[in-house]
Amino acid sequence: MKKALITGINGQDGSYLSEYLLSIGYEVYGMIRRQSVSENQSYRIQNLNQKIKTFYGDITDKKSIDNILSEVNPNEIYNLAAMSHVRVSFEVPSFTINVNSLGVLNLLEAYKDICPEARFYQASSSEMFGNSIDSDGFQRLTTPMNPTSPYGCSKVLAYNLVNHYRNAYDLHASNGILFNHESPRRGTNFVTNKVVKGAVEIKKGLKKNLELGNLDSSRDWGHSYDYVRAMHLILNNKQPRNWIVATGENRTVRELCAYVFDRLELNYENYIIQNKKFIRPEELKYLKGDASEIKEKLGWQPEYTFNTMIDEMIDLWMRKIS
Ligand code: NAP
Ligand code: G4F
């Protein structure tokens, strides 16, 4: 039985990845941080409590990583832990670099010294590309990285560290450059779930309008359930290397709003208010990923479409909000 250790196990992706790995026979271990309200922290993995084993730790605390790796001796390490909100990263830049870059360095050092036979996955991000776009309108592995946020910068450093540790120490360490992925478990301060929740509240008469930032930026939105399956394929490829995971389609935030409000028989133009608070000091305007390689070489295929994913999120909020 293979053993997987997941940092960020209680996050959106960590919860889907745990479910997927359990379903294919893995033993699943996870690192969680201590928080003052523990119920808030574990709601995404509540149903898995008997099946997974979690340890308190923090990727900025090297000693805690050493202890967990020594105890678990995993075959696969998935580093999903991060300060993952781009706009918040402008407000806490050093904290973001500390967790998302130096935290990864701590993990790589511990991995190299304690369990170098394991395989390592790093949750890299399309935010690393910033506003670079190839002439055909896609981003791919060869697209230059010009990040536009402290978060993007932090992920570029981590990406380079993973490449360096792979080359220098012959480790099976890979980066998955994942484009935006969502689900009903997405934090409600990310735009998809914020729009869906806000629109349902308006539909149910609980709210009069919804405040958003930039409506013109485009994102390539997939489903977390599909993307965690890609993470597993990446680690189970014989050669460690980097991959792009994306749908290859993009939409603007305005198009997202139009779809969601339309499904609820509302006109978004009557309810959306722009608030400067949600505009970023520098905006990444356009993301569309070329995932042809992972489809051709590893057989990855998403099951969800944009519409089925958003419909699932709407259905959940319609049931949740009375
Ligand atoms: P998420 O829901 O925000 O989950 C992040 C997880 O990291 C949470 O469990 C969080 O724990 C944990 N964490 C934060 N700081 C930590 C620390 N110092 N030590 C240990 N754990 C820590 O994010 P997600 O959407 O699942 O994304 C997973 C990973 O993929 C992240 O690295 C993100 O940057 C990256 N990524 C995400 C996307 C996307 O669109 N979702 C795209 C590309 C890359 P708490 O609950 O205690 O905060
Ligand atoms: O949903 P978002 O906050 O996601 P963003 O910034 O693209 O970052 C997500 O995807 C990255 C991959 O590309 C991940 F690495 C990262 O961890 C995270 O998961 O914002 C999407 C777009 C942006 O252009 C933002 O400016 O929506 C725009 N937006 C407009 N109004 C808003 C809002 N975003 C948020 N969060 N809140 C708004 O009110």
Per-residue model confidence as pLDDT tens digits over 127-149 = 999 999 999 999 999 999 999 99
Q: Which residues of 304-314 are buried (b: 16+ CB within 10 A; e: fewer)?
A: bebeebbbbbb
Q: The whole model's pTM is what?
A: 0.98
pLDDT, tens only, 176-206 = 999 999 999 999 999 999 999 999 999 999 9
Pick the closest to residue 11 from 82, 103, 100, 92 (CA basis): 82
Among residues 232, 214, 182, which one has the least CA distance to residue 279?
214
Domain spanning 3-181+221-245 has what CATH number?
Answer: 3.40.50.720
> What DSSP character marks residue 249?
-
8 CA distance to ligand 1 middle (Å): 5
Task: Specify the pLDDT at position 37.
Answer: 86
From the candidates 111, 151, 165, 286, give the one annotated as an active-site residue. Answer: 151
Q: Which atom of ligand 2 is nearest to the CA of 123?
A: 15
- pLDDT at residue 38, as a whole number: 79
What's the pLDDT score for residue 322?
Answer: 84
Residue 273 CB neighbours (<10 A) = 9
Predicted pLDDT of residue 258: 98
> Quick check: is 296 catalytic?
no
125 is catalytic: yes
Q: What was the pLDDT predicted at 42? A: 86
With a cut of 70, which residues of the chain have pLDDT below it?
none
Structure tokens of 54? Answer: 């979690």
Q: Which of 127, 159, 165, 182 is catalytic?
A: 127
**What's the pLDDT at 127?**
98
Question: Which part of the chain has CATH 3.90.25.10?
Answer: 188-219+250-286+305-320
CATH number of 188-219+250-286+305-320: 3.90.25.10
Kindly give the distance from the C-alpha atom of residue 83 to the centroid of ligand 1, in angstroms, as a whole number: 6
Atom number, ligand 1, closest to the C-alpha of residue 181: 40
Looking from the CA of residue 125, the nearest atom of ligand 2 is 15
